[in-house]
Amino acid sequence: MISHLGSVLLRLARKTGAALLCLLFSAMLPLVAGVQAAEVIAQNDSATDGSAATPCNCFIPAERVAAYLTAPVDGEIVGVQILWKSVLGGAPPSVEAAITISAAGAFPVPGAVMQSGGAVNAVIPGPTLIDGAFNEFRFLDPPTDTVSIAVPVSQGQQFVVDLELLNQTSGTGPFGPDVAWDADGCQSGKNAIFVVPSGWNDACLLGVTGDWVIRAIIDASPCGPAPEPGLSCKLAQGGVGVGKSSIQIVDKTSDVKDRIKWKWNKGETVIAADFKAPDVGTNGYRVCIYDAGGKLLEMSLPAGGSVELCDGKPCWKATGTKGFKYKNKGGSPHGITQAKFKEGPGGKSQIQIKAQGKGGFLSSSATASLTEPVVIQLLIDDGGLVGCFKTSFTAFSKKDSEQYKAKGP
């Protein structure tokens, strides 16, 4: 069994002939799943569906392959893509050890494991990889697929995505699949390998000649640093809607008892199409909360075209032709457990959002320090125009270290 740094150099040195063979058999590579509206890809590689990427075929169990990536936008990491291929194709699916999302640390050693949804380590155990595909992973609990990946990142932030091997890929020849690198050079400081037993090393210095085809999918946050202007959002209907909307934020010592309830009642005229088909679409739905000091919190609401089932049932369902309902007892990824969208003429439309216990909504005693106006808005991003529904609360009915309540507008 190969188990030292020198052997890795030898394994990589053998890739010269394999790279040529890979060029001959490279084919259009399918993407397992795909990027949705308002999502962008963080990647170092230049591989495309027809690119001549080279499988490494150079690892033993417990070794790891890492890409140092940079977030191009503010948002959340919601998925990972890995090109897994053999030279000749047709290999059976391979279950590997884990995929981990970590802070950048000091290259080539990744930092601490990042948190998903504010409370869960961003580790995908036992990922299944298909030969000849850009494999995509959006959940932390395969194959159940109920806990969505939701790792917050800021524009320009560097982070690491790595795959730990469970099976030996070294010596498997043209029929054996493995992680692949692209064909236009290995960028310094962006590719690493964990070698048994010596630890993390710069992949470029070990003979890797391209960038690992390991990517992150980032949901670009539509929640800006300040609320959307009132004229760009649908508001409560004047007169009948005044004082009919409400917000309740409960921030207990125990995070599982935290909860948020927002009601946008008696709003402007809304038709069902304004909600952009959350039951079957792939648009981005985000609840943004602000006070006078700026953005406090944002929570995503997965669309039915991205996350179909919650607790074994469809997360979303249409309520006739009038609107939509959402139910997810687990609250993945940010705690939203229920939502209701209802069309109607002025004074009859309605939105309700309920969330609870997901890693702590706010910092300790933050409810006591909220400063009016407190603004809640639902943003719906289809990759073009962003739809907005908004309520602004200028006075509270209760505010202490555990709870904030207000009615408005």
Q: What phi, psi does 151 have (nearest 5°)?
A: -110, 110
Higher pLDDT, 43 or 256: 43
DSSP letter for each residue of 7-50: HHHHHHHTHHHHHHHHHHH--PPPBSS---TTEEEE-S----TT
Asked if pLDDT for residue 18 goes beyond 60, the answer is: no
Beta-ladder partners of 389: 234, 378
CB 343 within 8 A of CB 322: yes
The mean of the pLDDT values for the chain is: 86
Structure-derived torsion over alpha carbons of residues 162, 86, 59, 186, reported in degrees to the nearest 10: -60
The pLDDT, as a whole number, for residue 281 is: 83
Where are the chain's structural domains?
A: 5-220, 230-408
> What is the per-residue pLDDT across 74-114, written as a single tens digit (0 to 9) for each?
889 999 999 999 998 899 999 999 999 999 999 999 999 99
Of 143, 169, 151, 197, nearest in space to 4 by CA: 197
101/194 Cα distance (integer angstroms): 15
Asked if pLDDT for residue 5 goes beyond 80, the answer is: no
> What is the per-residue pLDDT across 160-203, written as a single tens digit (0 to 9) for each?
999 999 999 999 888 899 999 999 999 999 999 999 999 999 99
Q: Which tokens sit at 211?
A: 């960038």
**Cis amide bond preceding 373, omega within 30:** yes
Mean pLDDT computed over 368-392: 90
Question: Of all helices (H) and strands (E), which one includes residue 6?
Answer: helix 5-13
> What is the per-residue pLDDT across 324-359, written as a single tens digit (0 to 9) for each?
999 998 888 888 999 999 999 999 999 999 998 865
394/409 Cα distance (integer angstroms): 7
**pLDDT range class, residue 240, cuts 50, 70, 90:** confident
379/141 Cα distance (integer angstroms): 28
> What is the per-residue pLDDT across 34-49, written as a single tens digit (0 to 9) for each?
444 568 999 999 998 6
CB 325 within 8 A of CB 319: yes
* Residue 240, number of CB atoms within 10 A of its CB: 14
CB 60 within 8 A of CB 2: yes
Whats the size of the chain, residue-wise? 409
Whole-model pTM: value is 0.74
Of 228, 217, 233, 257, nearest in space to 361 by CA: 257
Least trusted range by pLDDT, from 146-150, 304-308, 354-358: 304-308
Pairing of strands 75-85, 214-220: antiparallel
> What is the per-residue pLDDT across 104-135, written as a single tens digit (0 to 9) for each?
999 999 999 999 977 789 999 999 999 999 99
